């Protein structure tokens, strides 16, 4: 840790972190004007080609995929070049070449790049959101809030790096001076899902970059155009060549290669349990030419649950359950997919919930009248429909909404009569299917809530203080919400992430997140 590095970490003075304002509402005058305008402008740019970005240069490949609008599969959002293993290797070499100088760039300077990128994303928030509406089928609010979260990650991690960039004085012994400080791990492979295509990608990349690592970023092949927004941001702020590399490609073609590479020191992954566990297993193998043990930051799926206690405020609980279960078509890692309703309130609550759900409009996300839109692709349609068939066998269908013919729609579905032994109570269904369970009493509700392999989010509606306190102790999930829905965590104030099969216990947007990307060092000097 040289003197210059210390000085620059402390020299950058930033105001205290403040969360970006979340979506102001479809009726907000600015929103009403800006969203349709942004969608129309983006629509004129559809079908463009996107190159890879390696060592600060665009790289064109022969293989290209079409990224399409799930609400209208005839509409090609972008044509995206595909990285093969050669391009991934080139990106790793570019990252390796950039590492010595980036590692020694003062933390405050690295943080400055993030703050600048946040400012640009804020300027372009409607435009970037519009791309998500068309590429991912996100409603206005969902797209806007994804951008707001990404901006928060940039701003928050910049401030966090200034905090960690200061060496800590550990006290003196026998006249010696002792310091504690951090260095980056090296090259980070960032592997992202499509459902928060800006926020999660941006958060993982920003954390790796600001801590001094160089990044090879593989977006999901369902959101590569939004993934390219990071190329735009990071090149516009002048991030040195090779610090951030963009290599879209099929997970099945380049995933193992990237994960297995001895050049990689840390893998930041968010996605399904199946892929996450595979990555953890492969990253544990250490060939002779690998200089370090790989670290895996791994955020995985959920089987999230809300409990409706017998004295719950029904008027408040119904919209919260609907939004948690069916917002963005239930395609959130945090989405509520099990609803445990206490026997005493069940016959009043569930029919009202079903009636409210029946009224929700379903259609293209770009029309703000629609509450729910299309799911991400044809494979998702097939998988969710299989689960809806299973629902009819394991329980009783209370609602199966009708949906538009064209586009990747699946019916919003509510199924009753599910118990913990059912597959529907155990397996993650990434779509708008809510399994309702009738619990005898609060003991059983808590037991059922904790009865899956996952532990990501949970919620409870209750007016009983003792029950709420009990949930705090016994309802074991990464993010627990009392008397509100179980989605929509905010950076810094609600650090997000789960444990058990939902993750390795890391919290995105939390006070210890950056530490995963660094190795601590201790220094002792005799005067």
Out of 23, 194, 387, 517, point to the residue binding ligand NAP (CB under 6 A).
194
Q: Is position 271 an interface residue for ligand NAP (rule: CB under 6 A)?
A: yes
Q: Is 221 in the site for ligand NAP (CB under 6 A)?
A: yes
> What is d(CA 255, CA 160) in angstroms, rounded to the nearest whole number?
30
For ligand NAP, give the closer residue by CB, 139 or 222.
222
The 49-88 contact track toward ligand NAP, x by CB under 6 A, reads ----------------------------------------
Q: Choose one: 78-86, 87-95, 110-118, 498-506; the region binding ligand NAP (CB under 6 A).
A: 498-506
Please, are residues 492 and 152 in contact by the beta-carbon 8 Å criterion?
A: yes
Kindly state whether residue 250 participates in binding ligand NAP, applying the rule CB under 6 A.
yes
Respond yes or no: is residue 333 known to be catalytic. yes
Q: Which is nearer to ligand NAP, 75 or 256 (CB)?
A: 256
The residue within the footprint of ligand NAP, chosen from 218, 229, 295, 438 (CB under 6 A), is 218
Q: What is the DSSP letter of 61?
A: -
Query: Would you count residue 270 as binding ligand NAP (CB under 6 A)?
Result: yes
Give the residue from 143, 189, 136 showing the smallest Cα distance to 34: 143
Spatial distance between the Cα atoms of 303 and 404, rounded to a whole number of angstroms: 27
255 makes contact with ligand NAP (CB under 6 A): yes
Q: How far is the CB of 235 from ligand NAP (least distance, A)?
A: 21
The nearest distance, CB 524 to ligand NAP, in angstroms, is: 39
Size of the residue set binding ligand NAP (CB under 6 A): 35
The reply to whether 292 belongs to the active site is: no
Catalytic site residue from 333, 336, 471, 486: 333
Q: Of the two residues 22 and 468, which places its CB atom closer to ligand NAP in the complex?
A: 22
Q: Provide φ and ψ at 496, rounded to 5°.
A: -115, 135
Q: Does residue 300 belong to the site contacting ligand NAP (CB under 6 A)?
A: yes
d(C-alpha 434, C-alpha 167), whole Å: 49
Radius of gyration of the chain (CA): 23
Between residues 213 and 457, which has the closer beta carbon with respect to ligand NAP?
A: 457
CB of 509 to ligand NAP, least distance (A): 10
Mapping DSSP to helix (H, G, I), strand (E, B) and coil, where does residue 432 land? coil
d(CA 417, CA 273): 26
Task: Name the catalytic one among 87, 136, 160, 299.
Answer: 299
Q: What 8-state DSSP symbol labels residue 464?
A: -
CA 456 – CA 300 distance, rounded (Å): 9
Q: Rule CB under 6 A: is residue 503 a binding residue for ligand NAP?
A: yes
Q: Is the dihedral of CA 177, 178, 179, 184 positive or negative?
A: positive
- Structure token pair of residue 188: 């980070």
Residue 427 Cβ vs ligand NAP, minimum distance, rounded to whole Å: 11
- Is residue 491 part of the contact set for ligand NAP (CB under 6 A)? no
Gap between the Cα atoms of 1 and 124, Å rounded: 37
In angstroms, the CA 147 to CA 169 distance is 38
Contacting range for ligand NAP; rule: CB under 6 A; set: 119-127, 151-159, 270-278, 463-471: 270-278
C-beta of 357: minimal distance to ligand NAP in Å? 22
**Helix locations, 137-260, DSSP H:** 140-165, 199-210, 224-236, 256-260
- Counting Cβ atoms within 10 Å, is residue 58 exposed (0-12), middle (13-18) or buried (19+)? middle
Tell which one of 137, 302, 327, 459 touches ligand NAP (CB under 6 A).
302
Reading the block at residue 94, the tokens are: 């570019």
Looking at the Cβ atoms of 134 and 191, the one nearer to ligand NAP is 191
- 184, burial (CB in 10 Å: exposed 0-12, middle 13-18, buried 19+): buried
Q: Specify the residue, 268 or 342, whose C-beta has the smaller distance to ligand NAP.
A: 268
Q: Which residue has the tokens 């699946």?
A: 410
Q: Report the 10 Å Cβ neighbour count for 86.
A: 11
Is 314 or 504 the residue whose CB approaches ligand NAP more closely? 504
Four-residue CA torsion sign, 483, 487, 490, 494: positive
Tell me the helices (H) and strands (E) count for the chain, helix number first: 15, 22
Window 423 to 452, contacts with ligand NAP (CB under 6 A): 428, 430
Q: In terms of CB distance, is 272 or 444 closer to ligand NAP?
A: 272
Q: Which residues pair with 7 in a beta bridge?
A: none
From candidates 211, 220, 265, 329, binder to ligand NAP by CB under 6 A: 220
Binding of residue 275 to ligand NAP (CB under 6 A)? yes
CB 248 → ligand NAP: shortest distance, Å?
A: 8
CB 479 within 8 A of CB 122: no
Other C-beta atoms closer than 10 Å to the C-beta of 285 total 10
Q: Is 256 in the site for ligand NAP (CB under 6 A)?
A: yes
Exactly one of 188, 297, 308, 333 binds ligand NAP (CB under 6 A); that residue is 333
Q: Closer to ligand NAP at the Cβ: 99 or 296?
A: 296
Between 339 and 455, name the residue whose CB sits nearer to ligand NAP. 455
152 to 79, 84, 148, 157, 369: CA distances (angstroms): 29, 32, 6, 8, 28
Active site (catalytic) residues: 299, 333
Q: Contact positions toward ligand NAP, by CB under 6 A?
A: 191-196, 200, 218, 220-222, 250-252, 255-256, 259, 270-272, 275, 278-279, 299-302, 333, 428, 430, 456, 497-498, 502-503
């Amino acid at each position: 840790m040289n003197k210059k590095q210390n000085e620059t970490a402390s020299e950058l003075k930033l105001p205290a972190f403040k969360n970006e304002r979340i979506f102001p509402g479809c009726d907000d005058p600015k929103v009403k004007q800006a969203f349709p305008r942004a969608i129309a402008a983006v629509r004129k740019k559809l079908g463009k080609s996107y190159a890879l970005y390696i060592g600060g240069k665009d790289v064109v490949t022969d293989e290209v995929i079409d990224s399409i609008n799930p609400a209208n599969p005839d509409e090609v959002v972008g044509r995206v070049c595909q990285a093969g293993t050669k391009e991934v290797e080139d990106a790793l070499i570019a990252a390796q070449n950039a590492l010595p100088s980036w590692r020694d760039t003062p933390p405050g300077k690295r943080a400055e790049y993030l703050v600048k990128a946040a400012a640009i994303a804020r300027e372009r928030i409607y435009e970037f959101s519009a791309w998500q509406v068309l590429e991912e089928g996100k409603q206005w609010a969902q797209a806007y809030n994804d951008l707001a979260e990404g901006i928060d990650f940039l701003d928050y991690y910049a401030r966090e790096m200034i905090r960690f960039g200061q060496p800590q004085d550990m006290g003196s012994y026998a006249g010696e001076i002792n310091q504690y400080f951090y260095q980056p791990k090296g090259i980070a492979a960032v592997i992202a899902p499509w459902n928060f295509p800006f926020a999660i990608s941006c958060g993982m990349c920003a954390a790796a970059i600001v801590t001094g690592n160089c990044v090879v970023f593989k977006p999901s092949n369902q959101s590569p155009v939004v993934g390219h927004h990071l190329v735009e941001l990071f090149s516009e702020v002048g991030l040195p060549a090779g610090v951030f590399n963009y290599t879209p490609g099929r997970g099945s073609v380049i995933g193992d290669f990237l994960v297995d590479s001895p050049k990689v020191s840390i893998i930041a992954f968010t996605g399904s349990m199946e892929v996450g566990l595979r990555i953890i297993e492969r990253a544990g193998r250490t060939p002779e030419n690998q200089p370090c043990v790989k670290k895996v930051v791994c955020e995985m799926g959920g089987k999230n649950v809300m409990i409706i206690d017998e004295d719950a405020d029904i008027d408040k609980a119904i919209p919260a359950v609907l939004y948690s279960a069916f917002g963005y078509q239930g395609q959130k890692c945090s989405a509520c997919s099990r609803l445990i309703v206490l026997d005493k309130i069940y016959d009043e609550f569930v029919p009202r919930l079903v009636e409210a759900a029946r009224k929700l409009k379903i259609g293209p996300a770009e029309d703000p009248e629609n509450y729910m839109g299309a799911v991400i692709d044809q494979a998702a349609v097939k998988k969710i429909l299989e689960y809806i068939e299973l629902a009819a066998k394991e329980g009783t269908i209370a609602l199966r909404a009708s949906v538009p013919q064209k586009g990747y729609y699946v019916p919003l579905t509510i199924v009753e009569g599910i118990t913990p032994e059912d597959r529907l109570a155990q397996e993650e269904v990434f779509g708008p299917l809510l399994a309702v369970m009738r619990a005898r009493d609060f003991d059983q509700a808590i037991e059922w809530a904790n009865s899956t392999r996952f532990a990501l989010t949970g919620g409870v509606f209750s007016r009983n203080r003792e029950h709420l306190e009990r949930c705090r102790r016994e309802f074991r999930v990464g993010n627990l919400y009392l008397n509100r829905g179980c989605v929509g965590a905010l950076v810094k104030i609600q650090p997000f992430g789960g444990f058990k099969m939902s993750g390795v216990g890391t919290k995105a947007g939390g006070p210890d997140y950056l530490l995963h990307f660094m190795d601590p060092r201790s220094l002792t000097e005799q005067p």
